[in-house]
Amino acid sequence: MIFGSGIGLQINTEEVSLPSYYKLEGDHGSVCLATGFNNITYARKENSLFHRTSAVRIRYDKLYNHLAYLSSGNETCETGNTPDVCVDTLKPDPQVNMASLTVLGLRLLFLKTVVFNVLLTLRLWMTSCEQTLR
Higher pLDDT: 66 or 124? It is: 124
Listing DSSP states for the chain in one string gives -------------S-----EEEEEEETTEEEEEEEEES-TTHHHHH-GGGGSS--EE-TT-SSEEEEEEE-STT-----SS--SPP-------HHHHHHHHHHHHHHHHHHHHHHHHHHHHHHHHHHHHHHHH-
Higher pLDDT: 76 or 113? It is: 113
User: What is the predicted pLDDT for the residue at 76?
Assistant: 67
**Whether residue 51 has pLDDT greater than 80:** no
Residues paired with residue 56 on neighbouring β-strands, in sequence order: 65
User: What is the predicted pLDDT for the residue at 83?
Assistant: 45
* Domain boundaries along the sequence of the chain: 9-91, 92-134
Kindly report, residue by residue over 62-92, the tens digit of the pLDDT.
777 777 777 766 566 665 455 445 565 667 7
Give the pLDDT band of residue 41 (cuts 50, 70, 90). low
- Tell me the pLDDT of the chain averaged across its residues: 76
The percent of residues in the chain predicted with pLDDT above 70, rounded, is: 67
User: What is the predicted pLDDT for the residue at 108?
Assistant: 98
User: What is the predicted pLDDT for the residue at 120?
Assistant: 96
Across the range 90-106, mean pLDDT stands at 90
Higher pLDDT: 15 or 89? It is: 15
User: What is the predicted pLDDT for the residue at 99?
Assistant: 95
Burial of 30 (0-12, 13-18, 19+ CB in 10 A): middle
Whole-number Å distance between alpha carbons of 59 and 57: 6
User: What is the predicted pLDDT for the residue at 74?
Assistant: 59
Q: In Å, how far are 11, 31, 77 from 14, measured between CA atoms? A: 10, 30, 27
